[in-house]
Structure 1
Amino acid sequence: MQKYGEPALFFLMAFFWGLNYIMVKYAYSYDVSSSILIMRVLYALAFSSALFFRQIKFPKKLAEHLKVFVLANLNITAFFSLWFFGETGVSASLTSIIIYSYPIMSLAASYFLLNDRFGMGKATGIALGFAGLVIIFFRSVDVSDYLDLIMLILAALSWALGTVFYRKFLTGYDSAGLNTLQLLYAMPVVLVIALITGGINRNLMNPQFNLIMLYMGSLGTAVAYFIFLTLYRKYRVSAISAYFFIVPAISVVLSLIILHEGISRTMLIGFAIMSVGIYMSGRLR
């Protein structure tokens, strides 16, 4: 990435997504997963539409509509649904580990589907980065329902496939416009899932719940996904995937500050190993 601008954008995206993990836990105290799902997408769609109205250009051909629909339901519908429902039975720390196996999955998918080649150095860096995450969170591993674990694995896979699908078919679209379109195309399916799994509850009108969803929909989704699509439009999957290990690292720091959680020596060791992995993945081929 370029020296100043793009790393700063990436850090903003990582910060917004890192804070999402804390916000989800707060949201659970007000309402169920189906409400979080529909309200996050609804707020994100409204915010993105208002912010990027001039960039929205609808596809002219049926095949292009289908491509956007596929992207929407990989990146938004399936990913969010599986994540929110899976996290109800799994700790936030383990959720972070599983979701951020996404870079490993996306690298593997890009190798086979995009012919995106990289050497042993980058592969070793990815492995070290993931190992650092495991060390950070391993004491918190507590899975009471393996169905939840499977849902989180599928969430990571859905996001990885969405990334590769975007790189293969949709990088010609303006990032801001496509970001809005994917939220719009996901909304009908999200609404059906929410109605089937929990319905529209009275707590949707709770002011505190709506403030949480406003953050997650605006900065945590609309703005963060715009940065995500912008970076992946320019760079190969293997070029920036390793940096996504920064997101759960930010979650740990924010948990320390906001939730007053302690940080152990084990976590510090994990951060060190993860940092080495990020450096290797960014510098080596």
Structure 2
Amino acid sequence: MGLKEDIALFMIMAVSWGLNYPVIKIALNYTTPFALLFYRILFSFIFIYIIFRPKLHLKLSRNDIIPLIILSLLDVLIWMELWFVAETTISASLTSILIYTYPIISTLMAIIFLGEHYNWYVFLGIALGFGGILVIFSNSLKIGVKPGVVIALLGAVMWAVGTIYYMKYHTKRDRETTNFYQFGFAVLPAMLIAGIANPSAETFQLTPLLTALILITSIPGTAVAYYAFLHLNRKYGVSTISSFLFIVPALSVLFSFVILNEIPTILEVTGLIMVAAGIFFSAKGTKTKRSSKQSHGRNSLP
């Protein structure tokens, strides 16, 4: 692929990830966040297998199972559950902005726990990112604090923790296989949580509309987007791709406005701009001890 094709592939990835947030918001009108997550994990697991089957190494040793289960809980089940629950109380656009503080948080964690090298751009990025969070929290205090703000930020933290765990313990295994298994190991816990949270026969009921919405988040929003990310990551390096991830929450805000008529406040837009700048500078400023193939790999999907 040439540069134009790669740019188009990046935009497909960014649009798919950005669209997930308003689509999830709509889907939550028809089911619980717990059942929704179960079906997204299940469908994503199936379509990741279909798309990546030739590259998957399915044989596991006993020593592989526990680390993969831990990664699955951190990097799929817990953070996505927090994301979905957050969207029940706050807008899709605000959820996306808060979730996408994840690259900034993971950069700070990588410096502390993995000994990554850095320059002053990293500190600028971290300062801007956390400044954006403070701006958003100040806006929440004005209009009334909603638990979704805290829950979404906790989701970003858990996603960052999962990324650090991946970078420390899972870089020797190819990402396709790791991603396949972390979704696979999350299926049963997600089903149990959904059933316990809402012990009703209607909990797992699917309508045609709900099925279509889940498929959007599972096929383009997960499997296809991850295929694009892996291609671009191998060709240009993680830091290059990560520095442009601010486009995802920006697109999510746009899609939420067009689809849901969600109009962000001035302070939310200001927070988004600060977080976007934080993502750019923190990704540009980190120079890791690891190879680009190993560092800051997003092994799960938004």
Aligning the two structures, in what range does the TM-score lie when normalised by the shorter sequence?
0.7 to 0.9
* Contact 1:203/1:209 (8 A) holds in 2: no
Q: Which residue number corresponds to residue 160 of structure 2? A: 160
1:32 aligns with 2:35: no
Residues 114 and 12 (structure 1 numbering): CA distance in 2 closer, same or farther, change over 3 Å? farther
CA offset at residue 107 of structure 1? 0.7
Partner of residue 15, structure 1:
15
C-alpha root-mean-square deviation of aligned residues, in Å? 3.4
Task: Indicate the residue corresponding to 2:105 in structure 1.
Answer: 105
Q: Which residue is equivalent to 2:210? A: 209
- Are 2:58 and 1:58 aligned? yes
Q: Name the residue aligned to 2:221.
A: 220
| Amino acid paired to 1:185 | F
> Structure 1: which amino acid aligns with 2:108?
A
TM-score normalised by length of structure 2 = 0.77
* CA distance, structure 1, for counterparts of residue 282 and residue 259 of structure 2: 30
TM-aligned CA distance change 1:167 to 1:283, over 3 Å: closer
Tell me, in whole angstroms, the C-alpha distance in 2 between the residues paired with 1:7 and 1:126. 27
The letter of the residue matching 1:20 is: N
Is the contact between residue 94 and residue 140 of structure 1 (CA under 8 Å) also seen in structure 2?
no
**Which structure 2 residues correspond to residues 259-278 of structure 1 after superposition, within 5 A?**
259-261=260-262, 277=278
* 8 Å Cα contact 1:167/1:232 also seen in 2: no
Matches within 5 A, 1:228-267: 228=229, 241-261=242-262
Shift of 1:158: 1.5
Q: Structure 1: which 5+ runs fail to align?
A: none
Encode CA deviations 1:23-53: one digit per residue, 9 max, x unaligned. Answer: 0111011111122111111111111111222
Cα deviation for residue 263 of structure 1 reads 7.0
Q: Which residue of 1 aligns with 2:196?
A: 196
Aligned residues of 1:204 and 1:210 also touching (Cα < 8 A): no
Aligned partners of 1:134 and 1:96: how far apart in 2? 16
Structure 1 CA distance for aligned equivalents of residues 92 and 187 of structure 2: 26
Indicate if the aligned counterparts of 2:104 and 2:278 stay in contact, CA closer than 8 A: no
1:118-155: CA deviation from partner (whole Å, max 9, x where unpaired): 11123213433564677689757755553x44432332
Note the C-alpha offset of 1:110. Answer: 0.8
Q: How many residues matched?
A: 283
| Residue type at the aligned position of 2:213 | I
Q: What CA distance in whole angstroms lies between the structure 1 residues aligned with 2:235 and 2:110?
A: 15
Q: 1:119 to 1:25 in 2, by over 3 A?
A: same
